Structure 1
Amino acid sequence: MTDYTDSQAVSRLSSGPRTFFRLPYRPIRELTAEDGVHAVILGVPTDGATGYRSGARFGPEAVRSASTLGRLGSRERDLVITDLLTVVDGGDVHIVPGYHLQTLELIESSVSAVHEVGALPILVGGDHSLAIAELRAAARKHGPLSLVQLDAHRDVLDNYFGMKHFHGTVYRRAAEEGLIDPTTSIQIGMRGSVPREDLADDGLGFTVIHCEDALDIGPRELGRIVRDRVGSNPVALTFDIDFVDPSCAPGTGTPEVGGPSSAFALRLLRELDLPDIRTVSLVEISPPYDSADITAHLGVAVIFEIMTMAAAARRTKTQQDGRLHA
């Protein structure tokens, strides 16, 4: 008789309560360093700081549901994520709808708890405003980070509607607060019409590769450029889903036409091979504007590729440590 309790045989439509990739659910308040958890995926259901279309608060739910289709083996990297990393679903961060600054404090507290147990936080948003809280928590633990941002927009406005904290201001605030080092950071994929102030030199020091140039350069060379830029520094990797053309990712609040395909984006993630990622965010998935869940499924693929990158880095480190002690 077939054993239908086997994880590969059980229907992915009847696999129990929804968690990211059907991973174990472990509330972050219960985690300790002794648990040996390497990565925690957290939903951040907030969209109170968007400027056009809302709905990203439903992003974590959509990505969780779509992720039940996924498995954790990577043909390209020849590994199974859970053979190398212990990954759990930490649930959703508590937020306060309508109170953005309080929500940022709650996000920062939750992400700090993940860092304190020695794990990698992987945030699934939610709008991009969550990044300032994410980076405050990461920098407190690891010092200033190098930012690798895949996005259609730079998010370095000084203010938005007169407000200093919005999804279009996060990386100016992060630079001002010393959370990231712009001189070792890189922003890729920018395109579309921009405010007048975006046309001037902002003096922040980021390397910016606009979308047309990125498409000409290609994923493999972009990967080399990114690695050269960040060096051996701890990295904050952020993927705004509007990096991808809306023909492949319609479910987002600020779509920009003329972007990379989903295949280009996933190939770029595989080419990055960043050895020291300290925090990850996937943002701006807005399910009300999605079509047949294709944006949610792309979000799943993005998180999968980032987890395989982290798993490959751990495999390399383990092999190097083994040679040192041989």
Structure 2
Amino acid sequence: MDHPRVESNGLIGPVNAALTPRYAGLGTFARLPRIEDVSHADVAVLGMPFDTGVSYRPGARFGATHVRESSRLLRPFNPAQSTSPFASVQIADAGDVALNPFDIGEAIATAQRTASEFLAGGTSLITIGGDHTLALPLLRAHAEKYGPVALLHFDAHLDTWDTYFGAEYTHGTPFRRAFEEGLIDTDALCHVGTRGPLYGTQDLEDDARFGFGIVTSNDVMRLGVDAVTRLLRERVGDRPLYVSLDIDVLDPAHAPGTGTPEPGGMTSRELYEILRGLRGCHLVGADVVEVAPAYDHAELTGLAAAHVVYEFMSLLALGTGAAPGGPAYGASGTVYGDPGDRR
């Protein structure tokens, strides 16, 4: 059945919510068009349902579908960034990649090949996982195009460990492998939101050797989001930037539906404001991973992840060089400017 869409500036946007209820119709992200329904896509939302690399609770293979369902209430205008991303660039839902759940090596190769094909065609990717193993093939694909990339890694955990049970490719090892393969710019790396126990001081020593800075969740609380944002912007500069975000960076009160929850995390409000503070950075790609809907009571995690994807879309729509801030950024009582189509 045909559902009329919002169209602006020659771009095909989401299904018109004034004509089709938000709970009806195909469950694409934010009810955006499928990639086969547009002539090109500047930005694609790509699902990677895979969780064979997890070390504790499984279920993130269902994350992409869950986040899409949780995105139905997203609207075209983002007042916090004063932008209408769907009216600025063509965004489409590219569906899911078929990843082998029984062979991690093959799944990694397929994920990398698929991402590289999109990037080679000029499409920027926002990937919804899936577990954090996927960050490695995504970084390989982006480094193939841009060279070693700056990396901001939002996570409760470091994910720079060496092996689990002798396995080199798991959700706790992608950034160690990325360092070893020369995929990341060692002058422009930072973990954000880390917390909780480690195996020993060697974890931190190895991490520092790889070039990572660390902003813990306690740092966010004590310094505040504006100071943290300034630190991150200084760290990455104008380099091509990849953002990898494990939803467990949020406190379990805000995101219970994940495989390895840790108490003492960031709030969703803090996370969104830090992401918005990256406006104007040279963002080239991003992922959201580790959403496990089986543990997600009241859809809290899915909603949080959907809004993270929306903020990534807005940053990509604004583009490199956009002024940090804007008419609505962090200003209480500010007039938002022209919201465009509110449907």
Same fold (TM over 0.5): yes
What are the residue-to-residue correspondences of 1:1-326 with 2, within 5 Å? 7-9=16-18, 10-14=20-24, 16-26=25-35, 35-196=39-200, 197-202=202-207, 203-313=209-319, 316=322
The Cα offsets for residues 227-269 of structure 1, whole Å up to 9 and x where unpaired, read as 1111110011111100000011000000000011111111111
Query: Match of 1:26, as an amino acid?
Result: I
Note the residue ranges of structure 2 that are not aligned, 5 or more in a row: 7-15, 324-343
CA distance in 2, matches of 1:118, 1:83: 18
CA distance in 2, matches of 1:207, 1:257: 21
Aligned-partner SS, 1:94: coil
How far does residue 36 in structure 1 lie from its aligned partner after superposition? Answer: 4.4
Whole-Å separation in 1 of the counterparts to 2:45 and 2:315: 15
Distance 1:199 1:271 in 2: 27
Deviation at 1:72, TM superposition (A): 2.2
Letter in 1 for 2:29: F
Q: CA deviation at 1:200?
A: 3.3
Superimposed CA distance per residue, residues 163-194 of structure 1 (whole angstroms, 9 cap, x where no aligned partner)? 11111010010011000012211111111111
Deviation larger for 35-44 or 150-159: 35-44
Question: What SS does the corresponding residue of 1:182 show, helix, strand or coil?
Answer: strand
Contact 1:128 1:284 in 2 (8 A): yes
Q: Given residue 124 of structure 1, which amino acid in structure 2 is its aligned partner? A: I
Please list every run of 5 or more consecutive structure 1 residues that lacks an aligned counterpart in the other structure.
Answer: 318-326
What value does the CA root-mean-square deviation take over the aligned residues? 1.9
Q: CA deviation at 1:85?
A: 1.1
Shift of 1:64: 0.7
Query: Number of paired residues?
Result: 309
CA contact (8 A) 1:223 1:273 kept: no
TM superposition shift of 1:157: 0.4
Cα distance between partner residues in 2 of 1:85 and 1:292: 32
TM-score by length of structure 2 reads 0.86
Letter in 2 for 1:200: E
